[in-house]
Structure 1
Amino acid sequence: MKVCSWSLKNKDNKEIVVGEGAETEIRCPSPCYNTMLVLEKNARAGWYTCRLTSDSISHKASVKLNIPEPPVIIMKSKPQTADCTEGLESINVSCKMANDFNFTLSCPDNDVKTGNAEESLIVDIPCKDKLDSLKCTCNVTHYDETYSQNLEVPVLKSGDSFCVSENGWPKTKAGSTATQSCGPERVGNKSRTCDENEDWGSVFNYCVRKDVDNLLKSAMDIAKGYGNTPEEVGNIFSVMTNVTNLEYEATLADVEAFINTLGALNTATSNIEVIGDSVMTDFIESATNVLSMDWSDGNKTYKENLSANYLQSVEGLLQNIQVNQSSGYSTTLMQFQVRQKDIKYPRTIFDISLRLSTSASQAKILAIKNLSELLPNRFLDTESSSIVVAVALQSNKSEPSGINLEFPLKKKKPRNHEIICVRWQNSMWDKEGCEWKPRNNSHATCDCYLKGGETMTGKNSRVRMSLSTLMSKSPIELPGLEEITLAGLGASICSLVIFVFVECLVWKAVTKTDIAFFRHTALVNIATFLLLANVSFLVTSLIQDLTQQHPTMCLVLALAKHLFYLVMFFWMFSLSMILLHQLMFVFSPVMRKTFFFVSIFTGYICPMVTVSVTYMYYHLTHDGSYYDPHTCWLKYDAVLQGSIHAFLLPVGVIVLINLFTMVKVIVTHLRPQVSAGTVDEREIAKSILKVIAILTPVFGVSWALGFLVFVLDVTDGILPKMVSYAFTITTSLQGLFILLTGILGEIKVQNEVSKCVSCVKPERSESTRNCTPSIKKNSSLF
């Protein structure tokens, strides 16, 4: 059996294995009679050796490559800002080489210096010119290629804005960035920007511990192809575990270096086969330690890029590192499982129920906490709602694979909020290939499948995916529902205005008897407060953004709607009680004085007490949870939980009493000898019955649907959506039903309106004379 290998002996006389990597490519066609090593332009210098071993015989050949390392240019100025305001005439600009190359240092209107290690140039400051900055250049020629490094020194002139020096940060021109060197145990620098308002920004710490920097360099060497062996990869992971376990204050730069180390190892393991349970354990331990570090520094975009690179590296290493263990491994933030038998049997990992539908011969599963909230999210108005689960499958069959997961949610899903099952694809969350199955509000069930092109084919094919869930921050908005609400409220308000106007117009003519007076007084109050409630809802819809910014305004609207609707229903209750008394006690009619007292207490006092007690109870005992700040309406938490029940329960009782009254009145009317009275009174009683018979089912059904709207979740299917539309339509058209029953359904009111309309005609008729007193002597509603 022929075995071919390459090695490199560097300038330190250390021999390292050369394998496949970012800078190396080994070409050895089968059978391997000859081999070729292809190197990148910036490959390492030294002795390259090729060994061809066949059985016990070994052949080798070596060649020396002299490849100079690319130049590393470091430029600095002292001071960092050319300050013309303090009489400074010159600054010191230096150019330094990390390796010996000839270079030239030049600045405008100054001499050019040459050197090969470090040179400084005293540069005159152009204070008299209008230049905002001074630009110096350091040029290096390397193998017929020119490398340049520029340094732009800001020039501070009289009248320019600047930040004063503080805590070691020098005086800096506005819009410029100052830097500081790191401590003795770190490499890199710190930077801080002076903004246009002459305020110092946050300090960005790019200082990395030297041992972390050396670890990263070693990993990058392996990724390039130098020392790329399973043993070296295992050594890097072992060192990384020890370094990340050290107790020290890690910076975000340290976190980035560790993530880059994982990325380099991911690249390395994609070119070689790494097998070892201990390697997987060290990898998980190291990844956990990195995720446990402080990620608070840096802006959001920077941290999102770090987290995306972290997940991509973890995914790749989970796929590349081969293990034989079945017991798994757990840390505080990660739990790892391996399945080689009974793969389709459901299991639990970090309380996540997982079921695989696959022909894979091996499945590696890694659940990761505290990562999902760091990852970039392109789905607007959503937030992370569960942890991340990474899955790596290996199979020798070409059958599609599916995964069913039941995630425990970080917080209970609010009603009407949507869950999005997502998978990590192209450095972002993607919902394609995953489907959410609504079950309950504490768990999210996801069915995910491999998309077309990802199906495993061929021998030992591998595939990986990372899954999680997102939850919408706002309730789902049903299409057209807001438009229906606004149109219905507009029609209802117009109907109620017309009704109240007509009642005022014909008041004296239609309230000659006590029972008629009771009926119209109750109807006017019902219409008036329904009108106020509808206006309050309309105002809430039109100024929704403003109510979010001013909670007091939202509270006032919630209190107003609660009170106005209760007053409306309690006046319906008063109307039914008067009708019931009138028909049951024919010879003991209710006097107007008694009616006033009872109606004012029932129609006004009872609703006000109910609203006041409800508000005080929830304000004092439930931390201000009286209303929903998103809707400016009462809250529903669960059955018999939430302030909405202080509205629904009284309404439900009133509707039941009105239904009982309606049945009782119908039975009484079927017994003429009992329901004796004048013909006019019987007709008015029938009209009251007509009002109750129409409005009670309409209002009762509307708010019964309203209760279902609070109980049902629109994400559960088509029925809750239909209920929401039905509730919106019936509720917004309540004013129209009052107009139909109170005017269009009453012949006497229609006759009086006809008389009043005829008053506008030129000729003076008898009907005109009859309607004139009714208009001129219109009394109050009470």
Structure 2
Amino acid sequence: MKIEEDFDTSLNDPNNEKYQRYVKQFQSAIEDNYNTVSNFKKGSVKITGFRPGSIIADYEIKTTTNSPNNAEFVEANNKVANTLTSIGFTVAGNAFAESENVTLSTATKWYPLQDMTLKCKIPDSVDGTMSWTVNGQVILQNGKYSFSEGGTILTVKSVTEKDKDKGCITLKHKIRSADCSSETFTCQLKISELQGLSYGRSTVIINKVNQVLPCKNETLGDGKEGDLLTGPCEKGKEGTITYKCTSGRWTETDRNCILQVIKDIEKQVEVLAPQDIPVVVAQLSTATVQNNQEITQSSVTVQTIVEILVKIAGTAQTIIIDAPVMKSFLQTVDILVSDFAVNSWNNLNNNSRTDNTSTALLSAVESISDRLTDGNFTINEKSIELNRTVADRYSGISNLTNSTTEILIPQISKPTPITIIVFTTLDNVLPTRNISNKNDSNTDVRINGDVVVVKVNQTINNISFAFDITDQSLGNPQCVFWNFKLDAWDSTGCEVKPYIRKGNETGKITCECNHTTSFSILMSPFSLDNKALAYITYIGVAISMASLILCLIIETIVWKNTTRNDTSYMRHVSIVNIAVSLLIANICFIIGAAIAEQEQPTSVGRCSPAVFFMHFFYLALFFWMLISALLLFYRTVMVLSQMSRAKMMAIAFIVGYGAPLLIAVITVASTAGPKNYVTKQDACWLNWLESKALLAFVIPALTIVAINLVVLIVVLYKMLRRGVGATTQPDEKHALVVIARCVAILTPIFGLTWGFGIGTMVSRDLGIHVVFALLNSLQGFFILVFGTLLDSKIREALAGRLSLRNLTSSNRTRSTSAGPSSSSGLGFFQRIRRRNVYNVSEASAISAASSGSDTYVNA
């Protein structure tokens, strides 16, 4: 249809208000005037877009015949032109052009197992490429389909019954007698050449019946007591009804009927384009409102509409949704969650079902609300209220009937879109299971107030809600949120606060929710949000980062003075790489936490790089701790062996960085395709629920912890074995001090505290998570203290470089003394030297490597 008006580029944008107005005006004009066409299918008009050339509007209609009356169409087109002219459009003289009808094949019959050729002629006026589709899906050339002559000819090889639309032929045969003999019925294709094929004929045998058939019905037929049969739904509906023969009559036992109008919309949504969303959502809203009684009483219809809404919300992620579209969307939801639908939702939420329709509905509402246009507007339905505003804070009270829910969002950094959706009847929809009783719906737990959805595109430290209590007789209130990962209500991060009454108000509770990232998520599959954990995490990580920077500065200052032999050199190389890896990993952790706090669900595009580098550098930390342990083991067990510095360096860097890189790359390659690399909710870290990618960090880390623990035990055993019988009682006490010092030094350097991660993996106990977060977020501080500051040689070198030798004179004296008061513990091993030369060398190596001293006793 051609309109004489200057072409406006805004008509290329389906989200533009002018585009949507034109669609409604054109569609209304066509619908109203095509009703006179006898073969016109009502509700089939579809505006497919606008093109330049003045304005050319492309539209489609459907007819009930392949040969409509052209005279009727000409008359209808003239009426459409008059209608458009009356509302301000200038319609061209020759405004209407019908698309070319082309016969795809000249064959009158197609036979199974033969090739079928279809030809499509591209009109001269069309510029572009063409494609072939089957059931709405574009097909590619393969063993089944082949193209020729630039794609205009399609050849379908070995056509079977699967290549045609589904359908069946039903033969009704009435049983005239209750006592009849066996009878065989055969249905076969007419063409004799095809009767030999597997699907060419079908046979059914009706056996002799020797009993009275009490259930008789002209449509359903006859049956004996207890028989089940399936019949079609009423006119205007699709699906089946199951009947049972009970007490001499057919009784309906199960109904799976869906309104035809809903099924038609469901078919449209299968191939839904973003620009068609406004029209489809309006059609769905109209159909739902007009048929609300039938819809709310049918669980299968409710489920079908929810599936439609989910697909619409998914398609809408590429466009902006304006207020009218959202209003139509919520009108549909309002019908589904009304009190009339309680029985349907009880059936859908039965624990024997696995479709999770209620969760899908809530997820669809949240998903489409992410795409709302900026601006301030309110949508009010009977049981749903939506407030959309752009502000740097929010404070409001629900205007819904029997609801005074208050929402308070404190000051945020800058004005941002805020969406608040209040539901007063969502207790009809969402099951009342929580984490502890997820598989048990027969509990005393129930939703006792409104449900609120809050969407903010910034980090919020705290949100406060004041809810009306629906049932005053219920006690022990909890503040919960719906955890989509766990498919249950979860109270993590939310707590009940005393409500400050205003005047004579009663029956309210206040909830405060604060979702934060905990350090324990590095090993735990549970997202345990708690303020104490958050404070421990961020304070501990900050202290660690500062400590690691100081550690690297000290190592730089004293490097030449403390790396004069191979053992000392490798020890300090390990310390430096442990510090660097942990420092970078902690920086990535902070970045990931910031991303997770800003948006939920987490953005795969923004989160994936942070997760990759976090994964790599935390693994590098563990592998360098492994190298430190193996170096000590090598010097302890093989005291007379000597490996070159170059060889040790090569092995260390291959293991320290090569192994983590290989594991990190394999993890990305095996999980990034299905988008299961990072978590979907709460944190920016490796996925657990879908792909178990978290194991790519947990297994290597805990394996290294186990190896390092064995090394520590071997070292302690060597120290104790060499000291037995060689000392008096005072010396034995001194040996225990050296051993304790050895354990204190090696535990953080070997990463043994990460062993608490096993507890966080199997338990939600807050104490375990607190201990894990406290010890491991402060690991950088422990490395600075036990790996650097307690090393007497480092203190001497540092003091020498800073001209502060007077502060360390006593330390130097103790370091060179052979007396029993040596703080490094060497005096103990020097006395052993007099008894056994080999033992002295071995024990001295243990003490020096574990305590951080670079001085070895000459044997």
**Shorter-normalised TM range:** 0.3 to 0.5
Larger strand proportion of the pair? 1
Q: TM-score, normalised by structure 1?
A: 0.45
Instruction: Indicate the structure whose relative CO is greater, using CA pairs within 8 Å and at least 6 residues apart.
Output: 1
Q: Is the radius of gyration larger for structure 1 or structure 2? A: 1
Q: TM-score, normalised by structure 2?
A: 0.41
